[in-house]
Chain A
């Protein structure tokens, strides 16, 4: 699985970080997404897919 984030679409809601804190974080100065791990392990795939589905800015994409 490869994860891509789009900072311009990100609205800083933090739902991805609440779901998958090992894969996503937020910048301290403005709350915009930071991708910690662009190729997360299999144990993270479900929560990453969930983060994609619930992201309010549609700012996360995965290719598998």
Chain B
């Protein structure tokens, strides 16, 4: 039976930690709008080609209204971040979305991120020093990848340092599609919501802070061109979840991919000017980026030569699109100097990742500091023995065991 005439279970498992499932290439060439069955048992259509994924992500007909009555549920109990009612509080489309995006986007400009570089480098240096102090071997994921983005986004939001661990737990739970049950996810969401309410209360009582939340409060309510209290709260939650787990996992995967073939690490040591393009290339080739982006179609539309009925849910696999030979020369090969590199790992169009400059800067800084401080870094296990984290909307490696 070929991929063309079966309904695949989605996500499609891969046999090795850093490589894609072989089905992706088959789907791209033979069945680019595939029928898949989600963990909930509901059906959806899976897009795997670059052009189709890019078009859908930027096409307003493909909405994020995953709470529509006839939208596919991602998991059996309807939990997870994409199906949350909270996800609907931030305006999803039209002028409301543009307004929200511009109010928040000013905090994530490339210039602001460049200004954060020294602070990020210090955080990375301290975390690496702590890992080295504990002695080799170490787990780069737990020692560096996970804490760094939480520290950075907590600082940006004005969350006290002692509460960072709570955020790790909440963002892990909210992004989880199968590991936690609905009760745990709901409980975490309620705790997180309460914490953010209290934090905003505190910031309102003590105005003048220079963090994102303080300034969103200072901008006033909707009548003054600002956001409602609930929108600010949900924005804070969304930025924490989006700013943490994604980059945290990518740091581990990036280092894992580069050390899997140590000639890559040596090339970077010899020529650190490759860091920028290397970060983009690891983002492109990340075969374990998670679920992909679901979209709901409230009208009939054509994609990839197929007419999709009103009410269809599609899943965009950016990770597969990023390996499409029609969009990238030698798509399966890692080219540390690839340029341009128009991968879709941050999405595309009006909803493309708001924090992409933050993520890029964090990844570049982490790589720079690691190359400088631990040039002898290597994996303690063969790359094929690395283990994937199961069940996250954002994929990652369970541990990244290293010595130096």
Contact = CB atoms under 8 A, between A and B. Distances in A.
Interface of A: 11-18, 21, 25-32, 46, 49-50, 53-54, 56-58
Interface residues of B, number: 29
The list of the 6 closest CB pairs from A to B, nearest first, reads A14-B110, A17-B110, A30-B102, A56-B352, A31-B105, A53-B340
8 contacts: A11-B351, A12-B106, A12-B108, A12-B354, A29-B102, A53-B342, A57-B58, A58-B58
A11 B350 contact: yes
B346 interface: yes
Contacts of B348: 56
A21 B349 contact: no
Contacts of B103: 30
A7 B361 CA distance: 24
B340 A14 contact: no
A30 B106 CA distance: 4
Given A17-B111, A26-B111, A54 B106 contact: no
Contacts of B347: 56
B101 interface: yes
B372 to A, nearest CB: 21
Contacts of A27: 106
Interface of B: 58, 101-103, 105-106, 108-111, 113-114, 339-342, 346-354, 356-357, 360-361
A14 B342 contact: no
Given A12-B101, A26-B109, A53-B340, A18 B357 contact: yes
A14 B356 contact: yes
Contacts of A17: 109-111, 357
B341 A12 contact: no
Main secondary structure of the interface of B (DSSP, over half): helix
Contact of A14 (B109, B341, B351): B109
B320 to A, nearest CB: 18
A13 B342 contact: no
B340 A12 contact: no
A12 B97 CA distance: 13
Contacts of A58: 58
Contacts of A11: 101, 105, 349-352
Contacts of A14: 108-111, 113, 356-357
B177 to A, nearest CB: 25
Contact of A54 (B102, B114, B341): B341
B109 A56 contact: no
A64 B196 CA distance: 51
B350 A13 contact: no
Nearest to B57: A56
A4 B243 CA distance: 31
Nearest to B340: A53
Given A11-B351, A12-B101, A50-B340, 15 more contacts: A11-B101, A11-B350, A12-B354, A14-B108, A14-B109, A14-B110, A18-B357, A21-B111, A25-B111, A26-B110, A30-B106, A31-B102, A54-B341, A57-B349, A58-B58
A41 B54 CA distance: 31
Nearest to A12: B105
Contacts of B108: 12, 14, 31
